[in-house]
Amino acid sequence: MARQTTILREVYVEGVGLHTGDKSIVIFKPAPYANYGIKFVRIDLPNKPEVEAICSNISPELTIRGSVIEKNGVRVHTIEHIMSACFGLGIDNLVIEINNNEPPILDGGSKTFTETLLKGGLKEFNFPKEYYIINEPIYFELGKTKISAYPSDKLEMECTIGFNHPFLKFQQMSFSGLSKDFYLGDIAPAKTFCFDYEIETLQKDKLALGGSMDNAIVIALDGVHNKEPLRYNNEFVRHKILDLIGDIYLAGKPVKAKIVADKPGHRNNICFIKEFLKKAIIKKDETLEIVNDVRKTGLMKTEMVLDLKEILNYIPHRYPFLMIDKVKMNEANPLEAIGYKLVSGNESFFQGHFPGSPIMPGVLIIEAMAQTSCVMFLSRPEMRNCLAYFISIDKAKFRKPVKPGDVLELHIETIKDSGRRGKMKGRAYVDKKLAAEAEFMFVIVDRK
């Protein structure tokens, strides 16, 4: 049984960015609902823009010595250690506020990030965890890098690194299953590293400006320059695994697959995960037992039912175009809702559709689904003065006619929530039989 998680309370870290050398504070906050994902919020910029930590917001051209996400010109640099910590701890949803363009490097690995997040505590949503899985092998090769993925029921990894260098020629490590204890003890403390001859070039390129012996291992021809001993005899490949875990989490959901990587690096990791997502499918944890299930109690403890009068407070639709009579929502599953429509014989559309054989138009069934979605989203406090518009309808199918006297039960679930733009899946049932289904997209705008 696995549920989606966030943290219980706000926690923060502060320090200096590895590449920019800028001081920054990172504040971790609980996500408001399941399927929120991981979002960075630049609180130092006007309107506090958000950048989702997903690979569609990352450019391989920007990703050189660290993974950089960008949206509408807003960037956050070097996020891989935070993303790795989130994957290692099983955190699916998180708000990450940052007052600069790069998180601090701290200990050089993910140890401080994981310890800080654990201080915040972990909170479960009553919503199943979702994973990316594959049903066939995936192969990626670019330059000296080779990364493959094979079907598996857990995250497995085998990583090999090699350099034309007398001290660091070859290291390899593998694991089968990523538990919190394994990540905390064997991966998170591994420091980032570089070769001493790279430092001058990196700093000329305005990189590694915040690097030091405290947060990075500097490799010489016959050893390391650091006075502190290595934490592991194969620390270098462990850090490559740390980075790879973080980059893989830019898929947007945890991955279940066996990953075999030879000479991975941030840019190629991102290219690989983009190829991975072309064949990956989303799988929910079907073993989840819903607490206070409606089948056991008749009404979930956190359930909210809006009647017609309350619905009119949230959406602008009015007779004869109001297509729902009641909406049921649950705090535990804020991205799902159930709408109800009593199909009366007095509906105006039955006059012409069709005389003598009245059938509810399919497009109005989809409209009823959309209105249910509108109530779900526009009931959020921050969207009380907004409107929602259709921007697409896809995969619409009509299974059975809906007639006067039927009660439509409209099940709505969120496929993607990007704040003011989303994608929904709706199913309409009559007497527990599927009558219609569709996917649709919408955009939310201010009423004015």
Run of H or E residues at 111:
helix 111-119
DSSP bridge partners of 149: 138, 259
101: closest CA among 39, 208, 20, 203? 20
CA 131 to chain centre: 10
User: In degrees, to the nearest 5, what angle opens at C-alpha 106 toward C-alphas 100 and 110?
Assistant: 105
Count of C-beta atoms within a 10 Å radius of residue 293: 10
Q: Which two tokens stand for residue 212?
A: 């030091």
Distances (CA, A) of 192 to 61, 66, 117, 231: 21, 11, 20, 12
What is the DSSP track for 308-368?
A: HHHHTTT----TTS---SEEEEETT-TTEEEEEEE--TT-GGGGTS-TTS----HHHHHHH
Q: Which residue has the tokens 């009660």?
A: 407
Q: Which two tokens stand for residue 309?
A: 């009068």
The single residue of 19, 77, 239, 266 carrying the catalytic annotation is 266
Dist. CA 238–CA 217, nearest whole Å: 13
Is 266 labeled as catalytic in the residue annotation? yes
Run of H or E residues at 428:
strand 421-430
Q: 3-state DSSP call for residue 387? A: strand
Q: Which residue has the tokens 């039927």?
A: 406
Q: 3-state DSSP call for residue 370? A: helix
Count of C-beta atoms within a 10 Å radius of residue 337: 27
DSSP bridge partners of 424: 414, 440
Dist. CA 436–CA 430, nearest whole Å: 9
Among all residues, which ones are annotated catalytic? Answer: 266
